[in-house]
Amino acid sequence: MPVVGMVGGGQLARMTHQAAIALGQSLRVLSERSDDSAALVAPGVSLGSHLDLAALREFAAGCDVVTFDHEHVPGEHIRALADAGHTVLPGADALLFAQNKRAMRERLTELGVPCPRWAPVERGAGVKAFARGKTVVVKAVTGGYDGRGVWMVGPDDPLPDTELIVEERVTLVRELAAVVARSPFGQVAAYPVVETVQRDGICVEVLAPAPHLSEERATAAQELAIRLATELGVVGLLAVELFETPDGLLVNELAMRPHNSGHWTIEGSRTSQFEQHLRAVLDYPLGDTALTAPVVVMANVLGGEPGGISIDERLHHLFAAEPGVKVHLYGKQVRPGRKIGHVTALGDDLEKTRARAARAARWLSEGREA
């Protein structure tokens, strides 16, 4: 069997390892620390930095395919691995558009894909002219995630000292995500479009399928994601984060890996996004993306304040109250606001299913009901 290696030892690698086991594999992981989420559960973990080309070369030598848990591997390192004959998926040319927000906006604009109005920021210049006195969204071109690297900037606020783009603040109905997978052969499989709910820039809840989304708009979102996967040459998963506005859909961000907006697929779809990513990078035919229940709700478990009962005790209470909610804990040290796990509830009724997931996540996060 071919060997898949994942650079980065976070929860995405951890859950990909679970999927790899079913396929007769054991995911190889390049992890920074021995207590990283995936390093705790996979054998033969390589310790090393994703910024260290020598470590990447050594890791790639033991793999048939190298893929990623995050988008922080420098493009020149990915190119160096490819030049040395390693199969790295997604490739550097595609991954650029998930690593660099300016490159992404430029390319999407070329492709005529609807985005928020935006502009590059050259040494702080141009923001005032762009903003015309309004509050705008300023984003670091590289390195942001989970709300980091994104700022709301009013007319008199100073600008962060990093390479930036500026975007209009969009009037949102809500946020959606369209996740697709693409194989080297060119097969594409699309998951149902979901609604994502953010708090302080962090995804807290995903509703699948997106409630009350018209079939026309759902299809448009899937077609957009499929088009982007194809045009950008993505292999593996592509998550397209979308703004739903009164006037239609705008692309917010791209990710090219298993994504928080797809965690619901572990129980909620016939093929989990983690298995799908493996199938894609191995060029296997892709799996069925059908829902397994009418309503699937994923809620993230964020680290709560220190103290209180242990996670183990919290699990006891949760399992007693909700025998059907599925729990995924990442083995990470608890820090306030850090994603330490997620829960998934399946059901027929949106509000009831949502309440069950929220209650379960709160129990694990805070060790109490409300």
Annotated binding site for ATP: 101, 139, 167-170, 175, 252-253
How far is 137 from 61, CA to CA, in rounded Å? Answer: 42
DSSP 175: E
DSSP 304-352: --S-SS-HHHHHHHHHHH-TT-EEEE--PPP-TT-EEEEEEEEES-HHH
**Residue 297 C-beta: closest distance to its own copies, Å:** 15
Is 320 an interacting residue with respect to its own copies (CB under 8 A)? yes
How far is 337 from 109, CA to CA, in rounded Å? Answer: 34
Nearer to its own copies among residue 177 and residue 327 (C-beta): 327
Amino acid at residue number 11: Q
Query: Do 300 and 342 contact (CB within 8 A), yes or no?
Result: yes
Secondary structure (3-state) at 80: helix
How far is 241 from 70, CA to CA, in rounded Å? Answer: 16
Residue in 72, 79, 217, 326 binding its own copies, rule: CB under 8 A: 326
Nearer to its own copies among residue 252 and residue 272 (C-beta): 272
Query: Do 28 and 46 contact (CB within 8 A), yes or no?
Result: yes
Residue the block writes with tokens 């993306």? 289
How far is 41 from 36, CA to CA, in rounded Å? Answer: 9
Is 309 an interacting residue with respect to its own copies (CB under 8 A)? no
Is 2 an interacting residue with respect to its own copies (CB under 8 A)? yes
Nearer to its own copies among residue 307 and residue 323 (C-beta): 323
Is 23 an interacting residue with respect to its own copies (CB under 8 A)? yes
Nearer to its own copies among residue 149 and residue 367 (C-beta): 367
Is 327 an interacting residue with respect to its own copies (CB under 8 A)? yes
Intra-chain end-to-end CA distance of the chain, in Å: 48
User: Hey, which residues between 164 and 183 contact its own copies (CB under 8 A)?
Assistant: none
Nearer to its own copies among residue 78 and residue 340 (C-beta): 340
Is 311 an interacting residue with respect to its own copies (CB under 8 A)? yes
**Residue 41 C-beta: closest distance to its own copies, Å:** 5
Binding mask 24-53 for its own copies (x = CB under 8 A): xxx------------xxxxxxx--------
User: Hey, which residues between 132 and 161 contact its own copies (CB under 8 A)?
Assistant: none
Nearest CA-CA partner of 255 in 71, 81, 82:
71
Nearer to its own copies among residue 231 and residue 322 (C-beta): 322
**Residue 51 C-beta: closest distance to its own copies, Å:** 24
Query: Do 203 and 197 contact (CB within 8 A), yes or no?
Result: yes
User: Parallel, antiparallel, or unpaired for β 339-347 and 295-302?
Assistant: antiparallel
Is 369 an interacting residue with respect to its own copies (CB under 8 A)? no
Q: Which helix (H) or strand (E) holds 276?
A: helix 273-281
Nearer to its own copies among residue 94 and residue 346 (C-beta): 346
User: Hey, which residues between 254 and 273 contact its own copies (CB under 8 A)?
Assistant: 270-271
Residues 6+ apart with CB under 8 A from 331: 14, 37, 40, 41
Nearer to its own copies among residue 16 and residue 99 (C-beta): 16
Residue in 155, 186, 248, 285 binding its own copies, rule: CB under 8 A: 285
- Which range, of 73-81, 85-93, 159-167, 325-333, touches its own copies by CB under 8 A? 325-333
Total count of residues recorded for the chain: 370
Is 348 an interacting residue with respect to its own copies (CB under 8 A)? no
- Tokens representing 243 are 């703004």
Is 330 an interacting residue with respect to its own copies (CB under 8 A)? yes
**Residue 156 C-beta: closest distance to its own copies, Å:** 46
Half-sphere exposure of 262 (CA within 13 A, CB side): 31
**Residue 101 C-beta: closest distance to its own copies, Å:** 33
Q: Is the dihedral of CA 49, 53, 57, 58 positive or negative?
A: negative
Nearer to its own copies among residue 115 and residue 318 (C-beta): 318
Contacts with its own copies, residue ranges (CB under 8 A)? 1-2, 14-15, 17-18, 20-26, 39-45, 270-271, 279, 284-288, 290, 292-293, 310-312, 315-316, 319-320, 323-324, 326-331, 341, 346
